[in-house]
Amino acid sequence: MPASSTTSAPIKSTSARNQSSDLSNSPPLRPNRPKPNRLKLTYDIVMIIAISIDLFLISIDAILMSGFSRDAAQWLTLSEALNWYQSHIHDSLRTAGGFFTLFLIVELLLRWAIAIKEKVYYRWFFFPFVHWYEVLGCFPQLRALRLFRAVIIGRRLYQLGYQVLPQPWINRINFYIDLLLEELSDRVILTTIQTFRQQLTDPKMHKSFIESTIARNRNEIEAAVLSLLRKELAPKLQALTESSGGGTIIATEMGNAIKEGLANTPELRRYLRMIPIAGSLIESQLQHVGHNIGENVVYALNERLLDAERLDALMVAIASGVAQIDTDNSALDTLISSIIADSLDEFEAQIKVQQWKHQDMLRL
């Protein structure tokens, strides 16, 4: 028994691995789609064909009955053929169109009754509001709205996995829809920018805009200025406390200034020369001591005044003062106006770029 159990385990594991490998090599499963009713599917196909034929005939009839067709027929010497169509075919097409309109009305009422029976909508009178394009399409003057129903039926068939139109046609339709939406949105945005520019030319609105902008963002302005001061100015000031770099230069210059001051003091030189032999030596040592005192004073001041806590408090005070800036300043108005104008120019230039020209669908 133990032997049989040990031999059966590898067989099970091998079969499990084979099953897992088969699953990994198998194509991914498609999402489950609801199976359409065959009768309803056939009815939708018939309706989309009938509506397409009706709209095609209506369009042809409208073109042939127009004054343009009459002028074109005279130019092409086809007036007799056009007159024959207008006298024999036009009335028949109008009669057929009337019967088709009656059929659509009856069909719409039947579907409304079925929707009421099956309680498709929350209220029985919701149906004509949901299918408003079908209701309006029943009127002869609004027969073009029947195209909406054909489009919706085609979209439903496409969602069920049926290729109603060739894929290149669908790509091109989507491309022109994107093109139209982009051009319309660009026109709206450019018009808004132009209106905003005109409003900014008003001094009162411009002043109010600057004041409200600064008032709303004082905390952000203070935080930004404080961050810049801590990042850029504070390290340079703290470098003055070091014995090398900028601190050494200032200390040396201070020592040289005190040394020159002592050397250029005639009273001190006169008193020191009154001391025989040691006067010149005392003068030299006094200048050297003055130089050292100057350096030490600079280092001591830097250590006390440029302490990290005192320096940070100074940065906070400066940032707070900048944030409370007075908006009644011509230089500030000029700066903000320039920033706004440059931003609008860049934004307008980006909007004017026609993105649809860079799409791959142009190669269709």
For the beta carbon of residue 134, count every other beta carbon within 10 angstroms.
Answer: 21
CB neighbours of 138 closer than 8 A, spacing ≥ 6?
Answer: 101, 104, 105, 108
pLDDT score for 113: 92
Residue range 152-206, pLDDT digits in tens? 887 777 777 776 667 787 777 777 878 888 888 888 888 888 888 777 777 777 7
Write down the pTM of the prediction.
0.40
Tokens standing for residue 92: 């028949």
Q: Report the half-sphere exposure of 251 (CA within 13 A, side-chain side).
A: 21
The domains of the chain are located at 38-164, 167-201, 204-332
What percentage of the chain carries pLDDT values higher than 70?
77
Please spell the DSSP secondary structure of 95-157, one letter per residue.
HHHHHHHHHHHHHHHHHHHHHHHHT-SSSGGGHHHHTHHHHHHTSGGGGGGHHHHHHHHHHHH
Residue range 5-44, pLDDT digits in tens? 444 344 334 444 444 444 344 434 344 445 556 777 788 7
Q: Which of 171, 206, 185 is nearest to 327 (CA)?
A: 206
212 vs 214: CA distance, rounded Å: 6
Judged on CB neighbours under 10 Å (0-12, 13-18, 19+), 104 is buried
pLDDT score for 355: 67
Tokens standing for residue 301: 């001041």
